């Protein structure tokens, strides 16, 4: 019997660095050197705060007065990545953060070229969008909205029943999530 268990942060780090070790350019040269990979393996990784819905991963410089480098950064990952359906995407998120750690601060063309080395990148983006939707749904507040006049009658987490009507216009009320716009991951 095979038992699947979700990798922890250390296992995720090892998997991502092993994959990065195999990336080569068109002339067969390794993209990431051993010393770059070693430095990446030394970077502290922790979790983002529990209610983080706008970010899947975040790299910050430890010393704000200096540029991001593998010696001057820490990585945080959304803990919701550590679920069976998101664990492949978690590898991609950590890879993305590692590109930042190597000193690429913005998502410019060079950044995207490196990011494109990851297999199934398009699929990764789709999974990322699904995770964002999931997090929004978990965290959204709900509002009772009049389907006739659009008036928000009340904000609530209370159980909603389908036979509520707006007093003023007799419109039927609907319970809809209030979606907050989210920033892209960094
Ligand atoms: Zn109404
Ligand atoms: Zn980024």
For the chain, domain boundaries: 9-137, 141-178
- Sorting pLDDT into bands at 50, 70 and 90, what band is 155? confident
Asked if residue 182 has pLDDT above 60, the reply is no
Q: What would the mean pLDDT of 25-31 be, rounded to a whole number?
A: 92
pLDDT band at 142 (very low <50, low <70, confident <90, very high): confident
Nearest ligand to the C-alpha atom of residue 57: 2
Instruction: State mean pLDDT over 140-147.
Output: 82
Distance CA 99, CA 57 (A): 12
165 C-alpha to center of ligand 1: Å? 8
Please compute the mean of the pLDDT values over residues 70-82 and round it to a whole number. Answer: 95
Provide the 10 A C-beta neighbour count for residue 46. 10
What spacing in Å lies between the alpha carbon of 2 and ligand 2's midpoint?
Answer: 35
Q: Pick the range with the lowest mean pLDDT from 42-56, 112-126, 145-159, 171-185.
A: 171-185
Confidence of residue 50 (pLDDT cuts 50, 70, 90): confident
Phi-psi region of 161 (alpha: psi -120 to 50; beta: other; left: phi over 0): beta
Tell me the whole-structure pTM to 2 decimals: 0.78
Q: How far is the CA of 172 from the centre of ligand 1 (A)?
A: 8
Give residue 70's pLDDT band: very low, low, confident or very high (50, 70, 90).
Answer: very high
- pLDDT surpassing 80 at residue 157: no
**Cβ(56)–Cβ(44) below 8 Å:** no
Looking at residues 17-36, what average pLDDT do you find?
A: 95
pLDDT value at 183 more than 60? no
Q: Considering every ligand atom, which ligand is closest to the CA of 150?
A: 1
Q: Which ligand is nearest to the CA of 75?
A: 2
Q: What is the mean pLDDT of the chain?
A: 89
Residues 113 and 26: beta-carbon distance below 8 Å: no
Judged against a pLDDT cut of 80, whether residue 186 lies above it is answered with: no
Instruction: Look at the domain 9-137 and name its fold.
Output: Zincin-like (3.30.2010)
Q: Rounded to whole angstroms, what are the CA distances from 154 to 6, 117, 164, 171?
A: 40, 48, 12, 14
SS3 call for 143: strand
Assess whether pLDDT exceeds 60 at residue 13.
yes
pLDDT digits (tens, 9 = 90+) for 87-127: 999 999 999 999 999 999 899 999 999 999 999 999 999 99
pLDDT for position 95 = 98
């Amino acid at each position: 019997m095979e038992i699947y268990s979700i990798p922890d942060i250390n296992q995720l780090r090892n998997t991502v660095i092993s994959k990065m070790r195999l990336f080569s350019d068109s002339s067969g040269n390794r993209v990431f050197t051993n010393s770059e990979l070693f430095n990446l393996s030394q970077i502290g990784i922790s979790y983002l705060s529990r209610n983080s819905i706008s970010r899947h991963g975040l790299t910050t410089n430890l010393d704000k007065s200096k540029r991001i480098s593998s010696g001057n950064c820490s990585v945080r990952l959304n803990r919701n990545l550590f679920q069976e359906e998101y664990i492949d995407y978690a590898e991609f998120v950590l890879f993305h953060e590692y590109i930042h750690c190597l000193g690429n601060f913005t998502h410019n063309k060079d950044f995207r070229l490196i990011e494109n080395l990851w297999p199934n990148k398009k699929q990764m983006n789709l999974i990322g969008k699904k995770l964002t939707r999931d997090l929004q749904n978990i965290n959204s507040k709900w509002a009772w909205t009049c389907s006739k006049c659009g008036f928000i009658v009340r904000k609530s987490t209370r159980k909603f029943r389908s036979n509520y009507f707006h007093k003023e216009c007799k419109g039927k009320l609907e319970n809809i999530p209030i979606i907050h716009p989210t920033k892209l991951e960094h």
